[in-house]
Amino acid sequence: MSVADLLDDWFEHDGLKGSIASSGVVGVWAGPRTPGTAYNLLHHALGEIDGIPGGWGQVIGGMGAISTAIARSAEDAGAVIRTDAEVASIDVRDGRVVGVTLADGSELRAPIVASGAHPKTTILDLAGGEHFPEDVSRDMRRYRTRGGSVKINMVLSEPPRYERVTAEEQHMLERTGVNLCPSIDYLERAWQDATLGKPAEGPYIEVEVPTSLDPTLTDDGTTVMTMFTQYGPHDEAGWPEGAREAYAGRCFDSRARGGGVGEGELQRRSGLLKCRGDGDRVVRREGGGALEEPPRARRGHRGLDRHRHSQHPAALRLRSARAAPP
């Protein structure tokens, strides 16, 4: 079942359906009318945090704090961690894995190799499909993982201010994911653009201000604002020169219409310190979308790699209320 069919069964208001439908397409190469996306909505509503069913959390210290905690725990258990150590091959002898060879030529021997790289990379590029049963390597060759998500990270001199809201609403809006997706048709058009190999003319956007919940992300009082957006085409050819900047500009415009502030306003009012250009580049991953590289150049900003909203049921109601027409 598609998320559009599911929501049509329950709701009438386009803004409400659009806002909820976006959770059915987050992180998947699918549109709101693609069968199966109703499950993706359920997937994002599972779990709980601090007793709030379906709530999402924000990691204090940024997402990197999770990997750091895992790393420290592994080291406590005796693991030795090496970074900047590209694996050139997973070595197999007589049908058994015997270790890995790094890009610098050094060899590490081990009876078991656990890989966190994409299965296609692990099996076809690193180990070699010839070491697996034919049906496994054939399935891997046909395994498609595509992403349409585009993330934009910004550093601002102060938090963005919403217009025509009370102080209480402003406080809440800074501390939740603000979802700008006015209708299912709007979302479907954005998806269709990506299937045709173009960045969406009208992207759907989730805005967050992680420093509102976690001021430790910066050490100079600046504000981190992120936009999780969809859709972008999954291959490089869909992002010709200037397409990235144009897409980000459309996200700022949409943000402005949603009651927040646009890029011009950000520069004038909040002092947009860094967002794109200046050596930033789109980084791609197998199975992921295009991620706008975090603004690492500035000293003192950490944990900007990936954030997820901290959603509160009351805030979820606001997400719908704030969805604005394009």
Under rule CB under 6 A, residue 104 binds ligand FAD: no
Task: Looking at residues 241 to 260 of the shown chain, list those that interact with ligand FAD (rule: CB under 6 A).
Answer: none
Q: How many residues bind ligand FAD (CB under 6 A)?
A: 15
Task: Pick the binder of ligand FAD from 78, 105, 116, 279 (CB under 6 A).
Answer: 116
In whole angstroms, give the CA distance from residue 189 to residue 33: 11
In whole angstroms, give the CA distance from residue 9 to residue 22: 16
Please choose, out of 13-21, 45-53, 116-124, 200-208, the segment that lies near ligand FAD by the rule CB under 6 A. Answer: 116-124
Task: Pick the binder of ligand FAD from 289, 294, 295, 303 (CB under 6 A).
Answer: 289
In whole angstroms, give the CA distance from residue 233 to residue 239: 7
The contacts of residue 320 (CB under 8 Å, 6+ apart) are: 15, 16, 19, 20, 179
Under rule CB under 6 A, residue 120 binds ligand FAD: no
| Closer of 7 and 152 to ligand FAD (Cβ) | 152
- The two tokens of residue 308 are 């997820």
Task: Looking at residues 146 to 185 of the shown chain, list those that interact with ligand FAD (rule: CB under 6 A).
Answer: 147, 149, 151
Amino acid of residue 149: S
Give the distance from CA 183 to its chain's centroid.
21
In whole angstroms, give the CA distance from residue 225 to residue 313: 21
**β-pair partners for 151:** 228, 291
- The two tokens of residue 279 are 């050596």
Nearest approach, Cβ of 32 to ligand FAD (angstroms)? 18
Task: Looking at residues 297 to 326 of the shown chain, list those that interact with ligand FAD (rule: CB under 6 A).
Answer: 306, 308
Pairing state of beta strands 290-292 and 52-53? unpaired
Task: Pick the binder of ligand FAD from 200, 291, 304, 316 (CB under 6 A).
Answer: 291
DSSP character string of 77-114: TT-----S--EEEEEEETTEEEEEEETTS-EEE-S---
Nearest approach, Cβ of 107 to ligand FAD (angstroms)? 14
Under rule CB under 6 A, residue 288 binds ligand FAD: yes
| Closer of 91 and 270 to ligand FAD (Cβ) | 91
Task: Looking at residues 42 to 101 of the shown chain, list those that interact with ligand FAD (rule: CB under 6 A).
Answer: 86-87
Nearest approach, Cβ of 310 to ligand FAD (angstroms)? 11
Residue closest to ligand FAD (Cβ)? 308
* Contact predicate 270/187, CB 8 Å: no
- The reply to whether omega before 143 is within 30° of 0 (cis) is no
Task: Looking at residues 121 to 140 of the shown chain, list those that interact with ligand FAD (rule: CB under 6 A).
Answer: 121, 126
* Tokens 């700008």 found at: 180
Nearest approach, Cβ of 164 to ligand FAD (angstroms)? 29
Under rule CB under 6 A, residue 199 binds ligand FAD: no
Binding residues for ligand FAD (CB under 6 A): 86-87, 116-117, 121, 126, 147, 149, 151, 285, 288-289, 291, 306, 308
